[in-house]
Structure 1
């Protein structure tokens, strides 16, 4: 995959509830920054494979080489730039599948495999400073199965405050943020860092900064209009307060 730009692809790297859906929509709407989605999140791969009508064997499995080609075609804008969203919990499995495709399962081959799959590659690291608010949002989404506007709340799944669940997610978020930063250091990657709190308050500046990092020019007169609204409400704020009071944070 070779584009006319200085890059062929970029990955949005993060953890859940950091505004990645908002950011993906903003970048997709430029028409020049790929069409980032979670193509490589295991629970969604069957859905994408069905959408792309990939052939399956007698056991219902598809060839991952077919899947990879279809994902790149789906996620690439006419200027040749591919984009995808990858959470820390997805990276190892993606790398393992790429290793199987390329016959290379060497330890430490992560960046080589990603580059072989996607070409000249850059990274955007999305993170959230308020990890308690992030954990509350994550816990509520897990309980209700309502991850973004348009999802239907599952019947009988009224959210309830669960200190243990929120506390576990606070720890998980910290571990995954550290893991991303260590991974970038290990492979000599210098990502463009985006803080959730800036993304939600300075959409134009943050989105424009990403395009500049990628060396991409938006169409003249491009307006960065968010497709998604923030979901946090009074219940989120109440849970954050309850967690902080009990945890002494």
Structure 2
């Protein structure tokens, strides 16, 4: 039996989270994880699920559960830092007796909940990737070559030392915030390094399944749905930033 009803992939941008979500979904037993709770996208999800404009956050959470579960009842979703605060703040009025008790709120809404923490050792490479994605609007490329994640800006990527430095600082702040949150609530997440995910995506996915008490169905392949985006331009920006 699964050891969790739900799990959240906790991350910062450009750590391979979209790749990991696709790998987990491909197993057929680890939910259909998406960034369901990203605040700017809530209205799009609500429309897709046919929720009325008067729907409360409890209804939204239940609709997310229905959409993000596989047949074995396991639910998955992604949370960036900042989204966590938004989710627990919105769930507080739904379950007022648990307001301010983050983990208990999540478990009340999503059942037995576990956490996967995805981070990247090379923060400079992460910042370069983040800046480039923001400039171009291309956040991922699937195996067919189609890109997505935001509206394309039509802008050519351009080196920006100040922008890279600001993102390096922001990544550090968000990583520290995740660590404080885990420590505050006694959470022991399953930790995943981007570098390990990049080197062995199927192996990392199998480890997460083990953490969740799940077995890969016999004959089922773990399939990546997205391509690696880093190229010579990323490497050139990294080298230039280090030299400067």
On whether the aligned pair clears a TM of 0.5, the verdict is yes
For 2:135, the equivalent position in structure 1 comes to: 143
Distance in structure 2 (CA, Å) of the matches to 1:155 and 1:172: 23
Paired residue for 1:163?
161
2:238 counterpart residue number: 240
Stretches (4+) displaced over 3 A: 104-107
Query: For 1:31, what is the secondary structure of its paired residue?
Result: coil
Deviation at 1:241, TM superposition (A): 1.0
Q: In the alignment, which of 97, 109, 117 is matched to residue 109 of structure 2?
A: 117
Structure 1: tracts of 5 or more residues without a match: none
Superposition map of 1:184-223 within 5 A = 184-223=182-221
Shift of the alpha carbon at 1:104?
Answer: 4.5
Question: TM-score normalized by structure 1?
Answer: 0.92
Q: Secondary structure at the match of 2:217?
A: coil
Which segments of 5 or more consecutive residues in structure 2 lack a partner in the other structure?
142-146
Q: Does 1:154 align with 2:136?
A: no
Question: 1:66 — aligned with what?
Answer: 59
Q: Deviations over 1:45-69 (max 9, x none)?
A: 1111111111114xxxx42122111
Larger mean CA deviation between 153-162 and 39-48 belongs to 153-162
Root mean square deviation, CA, Å:
1.4
Q: TM-score, normalised by structure 2?
A: 0.93
**1:37 aligned residue (31, 34, 45):** 34
Further displaced range: 143-152 or 83-92: 143-152
Distance 2:152 2:42 in 1: 22
Cα deviation for residue 221 of structure 1 reads 2.5
1:155 Cα offset (Å)? 4.5
Q: Distance in 1 between matches of 2:241 and 2:192?
A: 26
Report if aligned partners of 2:98, 2:104 keep a CA contact under 8 Å in 1.
no
Secondary structure of residue in 1 paired with 2:195: helix
Paired residue total: 238
Checking the alignment, whether the CA contact within 8 Å between 2:23 and 2:202 is kept in structure 1 is no
1:54 pairs with one of 48, 51, 54: 51
Match status 1:103 vs 2:100: no
Bigger Cα displacement from structure 2, 71-80 vs 4-13: 4-13
Shift of 1:137: 0.5
Partner SS for 1:100: coil
Task: Give the deviation of 1:112 after TM superposition.
Answer: 1.2
Kindly state the Cα deviation for residue 6 of structure 1 after the two structures are TM-superposed: 2.4
Distance 2:154 2:137 in 1: 11
- The CA distance in 1 between the partners of 2:98 and 2:163, in whole Å, is 35
For the residues of structure 1 that align with 2:58 and 2:185, how far apart are their CA atoms? 25
**In structure 1, C-alpha distance between the alignment counterparts of 2:109 and 2:17, rounded to whole Å:** 22
- Write the distance in 2 (CA, Å) between the matches of 1:81 and 1:73: 10
- What is the CA–CA distance in structure 2 between the aligned matches of 1:55 and 1:156, rounded to whole Å? 35
